[in-house]
Amino acid sequence: MSSPALPTRDAIVATAQESIARGSKSFAAASKLFDRPVRERAWLLYAWCRACDDIADGQDHGHDMTGVDDGPARLAEISAKTEYALAGRVVGDPAFDALRIFAAETTLPPALARDLIAGFALDAEGWRPRTEADLYQYCYHVAGAVGCMMALAMGVAATDEATLDRACDLGIAFQLANIARDIAEDARAGRCYLPQDWLDEMGLRADTLLAPENRAPLGLLGVRLAHLAAGYEASARRGTPALSFRSAWAVLAAADIYGAIARGVASLGPRAWDDRVTTSSAAKLAMIGKAFFAASRRAQAYPPAPRDGALWTRPRNTEGRANHIR
């Protein structure tokens, strides 16, 4: 009896496209701006990231988080399937076979994929940041590393550290915006990504964040997160001259769309968590149009300049660095 045929690359790409359409309308919209090869690699990478996140949190495409009581087992599943994919072996799970294809096509350094999993390990242990530096380290593991991998999908060389730093900055900006937007949702799930130092400064406790009397100081922390996100977003924009026009267009559009989330949290202040902060379809289209013109003049708008030394910098030898913040 013959073995069943393995899913083709086209089939896995199609499944990945369905995943991004369900999981993130913002990223799906931005991905359409890439040329076809980069777009497909973006979908492949997203499918794996989304699946890891869903397994770790017990959710479906980023929705309906249930909380889990078997975090170590879930992490072991993620790690095992990822290592199979990195080794070029067929996993039999479309999301992890998406990583297998992505890694082969981009010459992905395995450390970057493992760095993302290190972030899930921190969540599985119920880790919380003590300091602002801890917060950045966490943001690197769960989003900055993804930014680096996306840069590889766009053709950036793994040895181009300067451009990868800018890509990492964009991932950190996105994650800071996520944390700001999801403070209430995370608190209800028993999580808090605000540094303990910040809470102490404001006289807040992680287990009572959502008490009505805490809304004013919590609003100030939302503004602080948004301000930090803006700094990393601005740094990321300076990496776009190293990209092709269409890749720069997509990156700048994503920066505008996600940046609007952080700005929305800041503008709402204490009311930021009454409803989930979102960006309308009309606003996204306007940002995509704006990004087209920004990409056209990116060399003039973002001339070569040293990266801001005040920004947190990703570790160069990253494997195992999650231990640094425990």
Q: What are phi and psi of 235, to 5 degrees?
A: -65, -40
Separation of alpha carbons 97 and 47, rounded Å: 10
Confidence of residue 24 (pLDDT cuts 50, 70, 90): confident
The whole-number pLDDT of residue 118 equals 94
pLDDT tops 90 at residue 305: yes
pLDDT (average), residues 29-36: 89
Contact present, 252 and 294 (Cβ < 8 Å): yes
Distance from chain centroid for Cα 50: 10
Distance from chain centroid for Cα 105: 21
3-state secondary structure the chain: CCCCCCCCHHHHHHHHHHHHHHHCHHHHHHHCCCCHHHHHHHHHHHHHHHHHHHHHHCCECCECCCCCCCHHHHHHHHHHHHHHHHCCCCCCCHHHHHHHHHHHHHCCCHHHHHHHHHHHHHHHCCCCCCCHHHHHHHHHHHHHHHHHHHHHHCCCCCCCHHHHHHHHHHHHHHHHHHHHHCHHHHHHCCCCCCCHHHHHHHCCCHHHCCCHHHHHHHHHHHHHHHHHHHHHHHHHHCCHHHCCHHHHHHHHHHHHHHHHHHHHHHHHHHHCCCCCCCCCHHHHHHHHHHHHHHHHCHHHHCCCCCCCCCCCCCCCCCCCHHHHHC
Q: Is residue 158 part of a domain?
A: yes
What is the count of structural domains for the chain? Answer: 1
Whole domain around residue 316: which residue ranges? 9-325
Going by C-alpha positions, the residue among 183, 224, 228 that lies closest to residue 206 is 183
The whole-number pLDDT of residue 65 equals 54
CATH for 270: 1.10.600.10
Contact present, 228 and 235 (Cβ < 8 Å): no
pLDDT tops 70 at residue 4: no
The whole-number pLDDT of residue 151 equals 98
Q: Is residue 1 part of a domain?
A: no
Q: Is residue 140 part of a domain?
A: yes
Mean pLDDT across the chain: 91
Separation of alpha carbons 19 and 53, rounded Å: 12
Contact present, 36 and 250 (Cβ < 8 Å): no
pLDDT (average), residues 86-113: 96
Reading the block at residue 312, the tokens are: 């947190």
The whole-number pLDDT of residue 201 equals 97
Q: For 249-277, what is each residue's pLDDT tens digit?
A: 999 999 998 899 999 999 999 999 999 99
The whole-number pLDDT of residue 90 equals 95
Going by C-alpha positions, the residue among 178, 126, 53, 139 that lies closest to residue 326 is 126
Of the chain, the percentage scoring pLDDT greater than 90 comes to 79
224: left (phi over 0), alpha (psi -120 to 50) or beta: alpha
Q: 230: exposed, middle or buried (C-beta count within 10 Å: 0-12, 13-18, 19+)? A: middle
Q: Is residue 134 part of a domain?
A: yes
Angle (CA) 229-222-128 rounded to 5° is: 85
pLDDT (average), residues 287-292: 95
- Residues forming a β-bridge with 60: 63
Other residues' Cβ atoms within 10 Å of the Cβ of residue 273: 22
Confidence of residue 202 (pLDDT cuts 50, 70, 90): very high
Q: For 143-169, what is each residue's pLDDT tens digit?
A: 999 999 999 999 999 999 999 999 999
Contact present, 256 and 248 (Cβ < 8 Å): no
Q: 323: exposed, middle or buried (C-beta count within 10 Å: 0-12, 13-18, 19+)? A: exposed
Q: Is residue 4 part of a domain?
A: no
pLDDT tops 70 at residue 216: yes
Of the chain, the percentage scoring pLDDT greater than 70 comes to 92
The whole-number pLDDT of residue 19 equals 94
